[in-house]
Structure 1
Amino acid sequence: MKKFAKKYLISIVCFIGLLHLVIDGWRWQMFLVYFLLVITLWRIYKINIEEKPRPTFIRVFGYAIVMLTIVLMWFLPVLLAVFSLPEPTGNYEVGSKWMHIKTDHEEQITQDSSDKRELMVKVWYPTNDISGIRREPYIDEANRIGFINKYSMGVLPPFTINYLDRIKTHVYPGAPISEETFPVLIFSPGYGSMSTGYYALLTEIASHGYIIVNVTHTYESLGATFPNGEKMFFDYTYQSKGDATSLEDIMSIKDAFEKDISFYERHNIIREASKDYFVTKIVDRWSNDLISVLDILDDYNNKGFFQNRMDLNKIAVFGHSRGGGAAGQTMLKDTRIKAAVNIDGVQWGQIMDTIFQKPFLFISADWPAEHEDINSHAYINKSTDYFYETKLLKSGHPNFMDIPLMIPIESIAGTGAIDAKLGLKITNELVVEFFNKHIKNDPNADVSMLKNKYELLEMNIYKGDSIK
């Protein structure tokens, strides 16, 4: 009878293990679970039911190891979670296609003076035909490698984030583009981030009838794969040199916020310090990247996959973090841009000497009171057109990316207390409503209604010198 009970327990444990492998598949994050499973089987096999166990040192030590294993086996799958992306709510499915852009601009980051700036861009677009097309894997390989190298400092091999293969995207590579004409949005990601790590945001916007050109800023995004198979990664040496040269500028800005001086005295200090600041130069260079994309849109629209699918009279730019600053800078420099969105980026540079002439949306994270609010100086003049100043309450800087889904631990991810999917939902609706109103000229679009819909969204709307 006792032998039968042991066999019964062993069968149950084996069944549970096999069920996991069949349904969920093998995952390295679960190796401690597998280890504990083997230990459990061994203990069941060896245990003498009639013997009363004595608390020996080895036995106590074994129990301690088991408890530690249980804690670790809970932590790893939570830290590196298999998460679900939000379902797009628009009328279209979303396709994707990679494009390679060569420019005449000198490549300022490499050592070879003959190098010209080259960009990889991922285009997200509306489609109505996804039959027979597999969903796109989550995050391209180069960005994955760059991500794991950044956060493990090169210690962990790339396969450690292969669990991302289990993420179900809502994007279908190479699907035929819908036979309509769509506005074009150019997107710039954060500095040193996964340039394509914005699935929740970009899939949602594209599903509402927009073509999005997602730029990878070579050597300043985490990774890019070029048509010849060569992979380019973030240049940490260039970053460290830039940080070293900008120390004096950033310290004068920091001091300006710590001193007991008037807003306008501080404004003049920040304005002067920012002119030669390393990041100001990055924002300007990135704006040139976005303009390089603009310059090639006519070619995309005249022939090939996107022929006659782009409405080049309806072009806007948007971005997150440093890419948000680049979006604003691009609208100042190029009249083809009809509107812009800055998602929690500092607007360094030219804006302090001028004013927007087009609709602009600024979305801020919920920064602490002691945060150095550069944008209160950058956006002092706002716009002669609509200017939306918004804040997503209880959010952190990464809440606008997929990061809070990938790493659902607030203290590690640097996110806020807001529910991850709710934060993305509010951001998505805000950006879509803004573009629907100011790019599609939809008479039913109403950005202001979101202020009443979501209590976690603060909003002030300005038109010229007046607040709406």
Structure 2
Amino acid sequence: MLTTLLAVVLAATQLTLPQPTGPLRVGTATAHLVDTSRPDPWVAAERHRELMVQVWYPARSVRGHQRADWVSPGVAAIVNPPDSGFTLPVTHGYVGAPPAPGRHPVLLYSPGFGVERTASTALVEDLAGHGYVVVTIDHPHDAGFVEFPDGRIALRDIPTPTSPEQEEQLLDKVLDVRVTDTRFVLSRLRELPAATAMDLSRIGMFGHSMGGATAAATMLVDRRIRAGLNLDGSFTGPVIEAGLNRPFLMLGSDTHGDEQDETWTRTWAKLRGPRYWLELTGSAHLSFSDYQVLFHQIGLPADQIEQTVGSIDGDRSVAIQRAYVRAFFDRHLRGRPGTLLNGPSPRYPEISFPAAAG
């Protein structure tokens, strides 16, 4: 969906992602998982649910390995035809590089509704460079494009609701499918690339938009996830009333106040573990994705920039998000308390702790 928008507006330019800040080099590898216990929930003709995941991890060495492209070749051919005049980003992860020694905390990532697993690569690869193994999940037929190893590309195939009731039912199904996808991935972590580098006693999850709602909903039903984080996503499903008793962070734009997104205030009241509500001044919904920097690079008109990724500088926004996401997981998966989450910081005046968070 959003990658298609890029294809329409991009001028002749090389797009880039911000350099990771961690001390470790980053490896990456993809895996194709097949859940034979269920058919695809969106396409009845597909007998089994197939998923693509990508693992990002600290690498022992990257010598002899190539940097991974931002999206797979088949997807790139769709969104970036030869005559487009632009080049999609190359990531800072090296394909198939050997993992660094030791066992590292594991983070699962779920993207927004209609978006691919690559949408927050700048944040994901930075976490890997700081010693996390991050598993990003594609949700086929929900995402715009998912390419499988044999070259098949699953396109978005979500029905269009025609009433508010149908829309609510659709979102409930989207969430349920994503939670089931995520729990299946959790059950297969030992089979993934770089599994030897994973500490499966320390698992967290984060996501953007519907992916953030997925993190919360999965935590509610699966105690393997010890800490969760929602990047600017409205909550949905039973977690709003049931709450959570483990650490959870809500990081968003200023659109989640009392009168703008009641799901944040309602869920906040039910969080019984360590809880954090942070807002990033000058941000908008897509600020919490790679589009925060890419839309600036392609020179979108100022009004479109502010509407989609806000008025904040793109690189600054990414740097702030990296710092706070890492601080949260460092505190609750690594036992490094730090001070960044204790209140406003002069290093990051753009981050506020709303009064509603109390």
Q: TM-score range by the shorter chain?
A: 0.7 to 0.9
Of the candidates 360, 365, 378, which is equivalent to residue 253 of structure 2? 365
Aligned counterpart, 1:351: 239
- 2:183 aligns to what SS in structure 1? helix
Contact 2:257–2:264 under 8 Å retained in 1: no
More helix by share: 1
Aligned counterpart, 1:50: none
- Residues of 2 paired with 1:369 and 1:312: CA distance? 35
- 1:353-383, CA deviations, whole angstroms, 9 ceiling, x for partnerless residues? 2121100011111329797413235414242
- 1:221-260, CA deviations, whole angstroms, 9 ceiling, x for partnerless residues? 121121222111112xx331xx22x42476xxxxxxxxxx
Of the candidates 316, 331, 335, which is equivalent to residue 437 of structure 1? 331
- 1:318-357, CA deviations, whole angstroms, 9 ceiling, x for partnerless residues? 1001111001100001011100001011110111221211
**Stretch moving more, 168-177 or 214-223:** 168-177
Query: Which amino acid in structure 2 is aligned with residue 373 of structure 1?
Result: D
User: Relative contact order (C-alpha < 8 Å, sep 6+): which is higher?
Assistant: 2
Contact 2:324–2:340 under 8 Å retained in 1: no
- Residues of 2 paired with 1:99 and 1:461: CA distance? 43
Query: Which amino acid in structure 2 is aligned with residue 306 of structure 1?
Result: A
CA 1:99–1:450: 2 relative to 1, 3 Å: farther
Contact 1:125–1:211 under 8 Å retained in 2: yes
Of the candidates 180, 186, 190, which is equivalent to residue 294 of structure 1? 186
Of the candidates 28, 50, 64, which is equivalent to residue 118 of structure 1? 50
Q: 2:159 matched to 1:231?
A: no
Q: C-alpha displacement at 1:415, in angstroms?
A: 1.4
Contact 1:389–1:461 under 8 Å retained in 2: no
Contact 2:103–2:197 under 8 Å retained in 1: yes
CA 1:296–1:394: 2 relative to 1, 3 Å: same
Q: 2:177 matched to 1:285?
A: yes
Aligned counterpart, 1:403: 291
Within 5 Å, give how 1:49-88 maps onto structure 2. Answer: 77=11, 81-88=13-20
- 1:291-327, CA deviations, whole angstroms, 9 ceiling, x for partnerless residues? 1111112344xxxx43432101000111001111001
Of the candidates 38, 42, 54, which is equivalent to residue 105 of structure 1? 38
Query: Which amino acid in structure 2 is aligned with residue 239 of structure 1?
Result: P
- Structure 1 vs Structure 2: percent identity of aligned residues? 29
- Residues of 2 paired with 1:82 and 1:435: CA distance? 33
Contact 1:201–1:428 under 8 Å retained in 2: yes
Aligned counterpart, 2:67: 135
Aligned counterpart, 2:5: none
- 1:169 aligns to what SS in structure 2? strand
CA 1:296–1:436: 2 relative to 1, 3 Å: same
CA 1:436–1:380: 2 relative to 1, 3 Å: closer
Of the candidates 320, 342, 355, which is equivalent to residue 230 of structure 2? 342
Contact 2:114–2:144 under 8 Å retained in 1: yes
CA 1:436–1:179: 2 relative to 1, 3 Å: same
Query: Which amino acid in structure 2 is aligned with residue 317 of structure 1?
Result: M
The alignment of Structure 1 onto Structure 2 pairs a total of residues equal to 344
What TM-score do you get using the length of structure 2 for normalisation? 0.88
CA 1:374–1:284: 2 relative to 1, 3 Å: farther
Q: C-alpha displacement at 1:444, in angstroms?
A: 3.9
Aligned counterpart, 2:87: 164
Q: 2:304 matched to 1:381?
A: no
- 1:84 aligns to what SS in structure 2? coil
CA 1:224–1:381: 2 relative to 1, 3 Å: same
Q: C-alpha displacement at 1:461, in angstroms?
A: 9.7
Aligned counterpart, 2:22: 90
- Residues of 2 paired with 1:284 and 1:90: CA distance? 35
- 1:353 aligns to what SS in structure 2? helix
Contact 2:30–2:52 under 8 Å retained in 1: yes
Q: 2:311 matched to 1:417?
A: yes
CA 1:129–1:455: 2 relative to 1, 3 Å: same
- 1:100 aligns to what SS in structure 2? strand
- 1:372-404, CA deviations, whole angstroms, 9 ceiling, x for partnerless residues? 413235414242211101111110111111113
Q: 2:66 matched to 1:144?
A: no
CA 1:452–1:424: 2 relative to 1, 3 Å: same
Q: C-alpha displacement at 1:100, in angstroms?
A: 1.0
Q: C-alpha displacement at 1:124, in angstroms?
A: 0.7
Q: C-alpha displacement at 1:115, in angstroms?
A: 1.6
Aligned counterpart, 1:195: 117
Query: Which amino acid in structure 2 is aligned with residue 281 of structure 1?
Result: K
Query: Which amino acid in structure 2 is aligned with residue 159 of structure 1?
Result: P
Aligned counterpart, 2:351: 457
What TM-score do you get using the length of structure 1 for normalisation? 0.68
Q: C-alpha displacement at 1:412, in angstroms?
A: 3.1
- Residues of 2 paired with 1:192 and 1:307: CA distance? 28
Instruction: Supply the RMSD in Å over aligned alpha carbons.
Output: 2.6
Q: C-alpha displacement at 1:95, in angstroms?
A: 0.9
Higher radius of gyration, 1 or 2 = 1
Query: Which amino acid in structure 2 is aligned with residue 412 of structure 1?
Result: Q
Aligned counterpart, 1:426: 320
CA 1:439–1:224: 2 relative to 1, 3 Å: same
Contact 1:362–1:390 under 8 Å retained in 2: yes
- Residues of 2 paired with 1:338 and 1:370: CA distance? 28
- 1:454 aligns to what SS in structure 2? coil
Q: C-alpha displacement at 1:405, in angstroms?
A: 2.1
CA 1:392–1:296: 2 relative to 1, 3 Å: same
Within 5 Å, give how 1:20-39 maps onto structure 2. Answer: none
